[in-house]
Amino acid sequence: MQAQTDFTFTPGIAVFIAEGIEEAKSEDEFIAAWQYLHDSGMAYRLQGWFGRRCQDMIREGILNA
């Protein structure tokens, strides 16, 4: 499954959705938040589990590399 790209995130909102602090309105929004973190490089500047989770999601075909 590939993430939709019609969502707009701030870095903080994307992190909140990824961490589960803010509930995503849909699975597509949840995936798009992770795609945003990957594309912006933020996932690799935050705690290690963000980057590891992005890599897992890429291997699983959820995120675009």
pTM metric for this prediction: 0.89
3-state secondary structure string, 1-65? CCCCCCCCCCHHHHHHHHHCCCCCCCHHHHHHHHHHHHHHCHHHCCCHHHHHHHHHHHHCCCCCC
> Which regions of the chain are under pLDDT 50?
1, 3
pLDDT for the residue 3: 47
pLDDT for the residue 22: 97
pLDDT for the residue 6: 80
pLDDT for the residue 5: 58
How many Å apart are CA 25 and CA 21, to the nearest integer? 13
